């Protein structure tokens, strides 16, 4: 069957390739050889490109949205990860018509010409689409910096660095000159000019502007300013090689004023950087590891303004999100717009245009009764009161209920705002934003039988219909291949038990014999007991067998799927799963055996470990957690990070164990397990476990912070209360006391005078500050990727926040004497 399957799959791949080529005939055309310049008399077509000498940047024609219209192209510069024609491009510059302030849209027939006269222009047939503001030169060169320069014998008459779009690259600067401003895109995939601009004004001020919706004006209203207009000199904005965004006054030798968090000077050696004015009006600095070829993995290092929705909703009638919509912050920490219940977006692709009722509004024809309507609260929001047309002062005679009833009867009233003693009728809601700190109550008027229907499906474009023929062909071949594959699977299923490429399936009898009937117990935890075993046909033969408790509630299919998922996870800092057993209610997991013992034993041994051993181990543990949170699929929250779950191999490499086991027991069993065992691992439990709402990956960050403090102090944590008198104070410490030592700079007391640590107090301080950041409120804790970067010294550690923000000082955080674990509720586990 195997040769037949291989033949079918190869044949299917060939058919799909032919279909792809039929849809994209331009791929048959020859592309230009890799070069970094265009010279007089040459041309560049839509399938050709320039590549910088180092290969970092590409200049050519970029498909705006392959899924929408493949004949709309940008003339652009992008980071070159993998093939230059990769679909996932990070565009850093694109051609823009400064006169009309529009993005230049090319087609597959467009050509960039370098005429014999030395003039550069982009043409489509007989039409000229674009040319540089100073279009004459002798060569068009893409530099390693990403700067596209038109070079002549007299210098550089034009360059992309002097004509930015929405992005700044390292080494680029902006001053008050024509064309030198940043303007956001409309959306991430819509490159037309957006609502936000960054300008260096004639008066010397640096200002961020937001244009009001459908208001014809060049700039709009300012929502951030550097207030440099009183200096009587023009500032220059710099984005340097290390990824720092700052401004300074060149002629005055003043100190730079940093707009984003300062990065170490050597960070350019390990990271690519760029700064962009994003579609939500926020300037963000993005970083990407140079040794990572996945072009989608760009991390936000810093951003400004950092005030969320506040400044962008404090002016005008519309604010950030237009009428009847409110500004919120999404899971990517970007500003977004939402509609109240019963309302839908006016334009789903451009949410900032506001919301409209998804029901027939109250009319003033006198035929409708107030009972046909009701009001619903829009919680945790504040709104502008500028569109108030009627206002009541709440008194003993004019109550809130009467105010609400009056709005239901008033055909002009669309919403009610209650602020203090005032009840205001609104013709529409404006300048809304989500906020936890508001005294305002917003009630929006909807029909009593309102239900939000599923929006009508948009018509299918002709270009999409045209490919259904090819899809049908593909489906037919897929069905044929699937039938053959199923038959092949049935044929080999009997042999799968011993020949699975990733995981082995063991029998209960086999593992009983391997562990000598559970003779040597290695340990036990929340999920079950672990026994040492030996399987002579494995290399190495020693294994650790974990017997799961209570897993009979998990269905066989779900258990097997989750185990296979965990078995595919491979990282040098994670204990590798070898196989599993699933017979009846018997559930066992088989892992590689770790000879080096636990981190718990390592840090409290009689002789304090060397600082380099501890610091290297801490970075390894952090990298293992980073991989679980962001590198594997599906992503995993460990939920039980503690020194007992961190093991060392024979080369003293730390490895995290028990990851993903929470998923094997299901949400209900996980809730029960953690509820019943919190007292045993109390110092490592984040306050979120005792709150309301979802628990995310930041609970692991908190636990890591406690573990990191234990590694620095070489003592075990004891919560926020001092250890009992009967405990050996040499191996116990209080989290609150440790934080106090760190904040007062008494690091030598943390490391107990260990000579290597004393000689490297800079890293001791850095690791200690990272630990404190991990113990903050969940909203302030860094992600594990940033934790790794800070520990390695790639990213500068921010100054410590006020101690009141620390979770170990939070009244929500439990101790064994303050909280009854059995009354706590653990909610759905959710990867952030």
Of 373 and 27, the one with more pLDDT:
373
Known active-site residue 419: no
Which tops the pLDDT comparison, 77 or 724?
77
pLDDT (mean) for 102-129: 94
> d(Cα 72, Cα 61) in Å, to the nearest integer?
10
Lowest-pLDDT choice from 345-354, 552-561, 782-791: 552-561
Q: What is the pLDDT of residue 71?
A: 83
Average pLDDT over residues 412-428: 85
Q: Please give the DSSP secondary-structure letter assigned to residue 372.
A: G
Distance CA 170, CA 163 (A): 15
Give yes or no for a contact between 647 and 597, defined as CB atoms under 8 angstroms apart: yes
pLDDT band at 686 (very low <50, low <70, confident <90, very high): confident
What confidence category does residue 383 fall into, taking pLDDT thresholds of 50, 70 and 90?
Answer: confident
* Segment of 488-492, 576-580, 674-678 carrying the highest mean pLDDT: 576-580
* Residue 50 scores a pLDDT above 70: yes
The per-residue pLDDT for 104 is 94
595 phi, psi to nearest 5 deg: -80, -20
Cβ-Cβ contacts under 8 Å for 806 (sequence gap 6 or more): 739, 772, 775, 776, 777
For residue 666, pLDDT beyond 70: no
What average pLDDT does range 491-498 have in this prediction? 40
From residue 89, how far is each of 80, 86, 177, 687 by CA, in Å? 8, 6, 29, 40
Q: DSSP assignment of 113-156, as one string?
A: EE-TTSBEEEEETTEEEE--SS-B-SEEEE-TTS-EEEEETTEE
- Does 464 have pLDDT greater than 90? no
pLDDT of residue 26: 36
Asked whether 57 and 79 are in contact (CB, 8 A), the reply is yes
**237 touches 761 (CB < 8 A):** no
Q: 735 or 275, which is more confident?
A: 275
∠ CA 22-24-28, rounded to 5°: 90
CA 4/CA 744 separation, integer angstroms:
72
Give the separation between CA 33 and CA 714, rounded to whole angstroms: 59
Lowest mean pLDDT of 59-63, 264-268, 552-556, 583-587, name the range.
Answer: 552-556
Q: What is the mean pLDDT of residues 359-378?
A: 85
Average pLDDT over every residue of 620-624? 94
Q: What is the pLDDT of residue 459?
A: 39
What is the average pLDDT value for the chain, to the nearest integer? 78
Nearest one of 469, 396, 337, 328 to 22, comparing CA atoms: 469
- Given a contact cutoff of 8 angstroms between Cβ atoms, the answer to whether 236 and 133 are in contact is no
Nearest residue to 716 (alpha-carbon basis) of 624, 575, 598, 804: 598
For residues 351 and 190, the answer to whether their CB atoms sit within 8 Å is no
Q: How far is CA 140 from CA 30, 48, 97, in A?
A: 21, 14, 19
* DSSP structure string for 441-491: EEEEEEETT---PPPPPPPPPHHHHTTHHHHHHHHHHHHHHHHHHHHHHHH
567 falls in which pLDDT band (50, 70, 90)?
confident
**Of the ranges 33-47, 80-94, 351-365, 768-782, which one carries the lowest mean pLDDT score?**
80-94
Other CB atoms within 10 Å distance of the CB of residue 386: 11
pLDDT beyond 50 at 664: no
pLDDT score of 22: 43
Instruction: List, for residues 730-773, the tens digit of each pLDDT value.
Output: 556 778 888 888 988 889 888 888 888 888 999 999 999 999 99
* Mean pLDDT of the 326-341 span: 85
Query: Average of pLDDT values for 488-507?
Result: 52
pLDDT of residue 170: 95
Residues 154 and 134: beta-carbon distance below 8 Å: no
Beta sheet of 422-426, edge-to-edge order: 373-377, 440-447, 415-419, 422-426, 388-393
What confidence score (pLDDT) does residue 53 get? 92
**Structural domains of the chain in order of their starting residue, each with its CATH number:** 31-162 (2.90.10.10), 164-306 (2.90.10.10), 312-447 (no CATH), 503-592 (3.30.200.20), 599-823 (1.10.510.10)
User: Of the ranges 146-160, 370-384, 461-475, which one carries the lowest mean pLDDT score?
Assistant: 461-475
Mean pLDDT, to the nearest integer, of 696-720? 87
User: What percent of the chain clears pLDDT 90, i.e. is strictly above it?
Assistant: 28
The catalytic residue among 278, 640, 644, 700 is: 640
SS3 551: helix
* Three-state SS sequence of 217-260: CCCCEEEEECCCHHHCCCCEEEECCCCCEEEECHHHCCCCEECC
**Average pLDDT score over residue span 800-806:** 70
pLDDT number for residue 705: 94
Res 676: pLDDT? 40
What does the block give as tokens for 411? 């055909």
Q: Compute how many other C-beta atoms are within 10 angstroms of the C-beta atom of residue 162.
A: 19
Higher-confidence residue: 1 or 406? 406
Say if residue 546 carries a ligand binding annotation. Answer: yes
pLDDT (mean) for 84-113: 86
Give the CA distances from residue 713 to residues 726, 754, 809, in Å, rounded to whole numbers and listed in that order.
20, 10, 20
- CA–CA separation, 432 and 430 (whole Å): 6
More confident residue, 265 or 782: 782
How much is the pLDDT for 86? Answer: 56
pLDDT score of 266 = 66
Q: Report d(CA 826, CA 831) in Å as an integer.
A: 15
Q: Whole-angstrom Cα distance, residue 770 to residue 792?
A: 11
């Amino acid at each position: 069957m195997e040769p037949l399957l291989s033949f079918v799959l190869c044949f299917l791949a060939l058919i799909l390739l032919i279909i792809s080529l039929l849809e994209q005939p331009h791929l048959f055309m020859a592309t230009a050889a890799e070069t970094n310049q265009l010279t007089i008399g040459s041309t560049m077509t839509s399938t050709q490109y320039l590549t910088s000498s180092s290969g970092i940047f590409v200049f050519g024609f970029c498909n705006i949205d392959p899924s929408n219209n493949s004949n709309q192209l940008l003339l652009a510069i992008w980071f070159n990860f993998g093939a230059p024609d990769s679909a996932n491009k990070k565009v850093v510059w694109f051609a823009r018509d400064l006169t009309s302030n529009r993005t230049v849209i090319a087609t597959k027939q467009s050509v960039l010409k370098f005429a014999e006269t030395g003039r550069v222009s982009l043409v489509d047939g007989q039409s000229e689409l674009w040319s540089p503001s100073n279009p004459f030169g002798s060569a068009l060169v893409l530099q390693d910096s990403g700067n596209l320069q038109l070079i002549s014998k007299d210098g550089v008459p034009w360059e992309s660095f002097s004509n930015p779009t929405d992005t700044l690259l390292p080494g680029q600067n902006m001053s008050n000159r024509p064309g030198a401003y940043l303007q956001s895109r409309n959306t991430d995939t819509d490159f037309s000019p957006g609502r936000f601009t960054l300008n260096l004004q004639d008066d010397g001020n640096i200002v961020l502007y937001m244009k009001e919706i459908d208001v014809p004006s060049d700039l709009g209203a300012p929502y951030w300013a550097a207030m440099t207009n009183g200096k009587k000199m023009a500032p220059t904005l710099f984005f340097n090689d290390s990824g720092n965004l700052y401004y300074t006054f060149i002629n005055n030798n003043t100190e730079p004023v940093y707009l984003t968090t300062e990065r170490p000077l050597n960070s350019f050696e390990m990271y690519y950087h760029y700064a962009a004015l994003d579609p939500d009006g926020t300037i963000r600095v993005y970083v990407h590891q140079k040794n990572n070829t996945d072009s989608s993995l760009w991390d936000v290092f810093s951003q400004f303004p950092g005030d969320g929705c506040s400044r962008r909703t404090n002016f005008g009638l519309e604010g950030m999100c237009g009428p009847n919509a409110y500004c919120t912050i999404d899971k990517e920490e970007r500003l977004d717009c939402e509609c109240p219940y019963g309302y839908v977006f006016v334009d789903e692709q451009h949410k900032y245009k506001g919301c409209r009722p998804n029901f027939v509004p109250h009319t003033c024809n006198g035929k409708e009764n107030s009972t046909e309507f009701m009001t619903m609260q829009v919680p945790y929001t504040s709104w502008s009161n500028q569109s108030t047309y009627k206002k009541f002062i709440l008194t003993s005679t004019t109550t809130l209920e009467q105010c609400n009833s009056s709005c239901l009867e008033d055909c002009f009233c669309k919403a009610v705002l209650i602020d203090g003693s005032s009840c205001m009728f609104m013709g529409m809601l404006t300048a809304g934003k989500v906020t936890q700190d508001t005294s305002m109550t917003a009630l929006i008027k909807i029909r009593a039988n309102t239900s939000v229907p599923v929006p009508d499906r948009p018509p299918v474009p002709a270009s999409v219909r045209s490919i259904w023929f090819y899809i049908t062909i593909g489906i037919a071949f897929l069905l044929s291949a699937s039938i053959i594959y199923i038959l092949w699977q049935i044929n080999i299923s009997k042999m799968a038990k011993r020949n699975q490429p990733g995981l082995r399936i063991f029998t209960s009898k086999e593992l009983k014999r391997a562990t000598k009937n559970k003779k040597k117990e290695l340990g036990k935890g929340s999920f079950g007991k672990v026994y040492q075993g030996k399987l002579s046909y494995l290399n190495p033969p020693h294994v650790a067998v974990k017997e799961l408790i209570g897993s009979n509630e998990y269905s066989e299919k779900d258990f097997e799927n989750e185990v296979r998922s965990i078995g595919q996870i491979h990282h040098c800092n994670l204990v590798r799963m070898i196989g599993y057993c699933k017979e009846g209610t018997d559930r066992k997991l088989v892992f590689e055996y770790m000879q080096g013992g636990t981190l718990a034993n390592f840090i409290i041994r009689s002789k304090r470990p060397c600082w380099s051993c501890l610091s290297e181990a801490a970075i390894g543990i952090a990298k293992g957690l980073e991989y679980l949170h962001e590198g594997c699929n599906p992503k995993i929250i460990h939920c039980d990070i503690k020194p007992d779950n961190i093991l060392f191999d024979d080369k003293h490499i730390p490895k995290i164990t028990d990851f993903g086991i929470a998923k094997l027991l299901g949400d209900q069993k996980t809730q029960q397990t953690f509820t019943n065992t919190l007292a045993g691992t109390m110092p490592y439990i984040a306050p979120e476990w005792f709150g309301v709402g979802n628990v995310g990956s930041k609970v692991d960050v908190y636990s890591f912070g406690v573990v990191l403090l234990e590694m620095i102090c070489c003592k075990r944590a004891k919560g926020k209360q001092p250890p009992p008198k009967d405990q050996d104070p040499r191996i116990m410490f209080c989290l609150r006391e440790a934080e106090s030592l760190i904040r007062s700079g008494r690091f030598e007391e943390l490391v107990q005078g260990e000579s290597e640590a004393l000689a490297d107090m800079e890293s001791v301080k850095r690791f200690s500050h990272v630990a404190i950041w991990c113990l903050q409120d969940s909203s302030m804790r860094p992600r594990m990727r940033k934790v790794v970067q800070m520990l390695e010294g790639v990213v500068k550690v921010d100054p410590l926040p006020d101690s009141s923000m620390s979770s170990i000082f939070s009244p929500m955080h439990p101790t064994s004497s303050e909280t009854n674990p059995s009354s706590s509720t653990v909610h759905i586990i959710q990867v952030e």
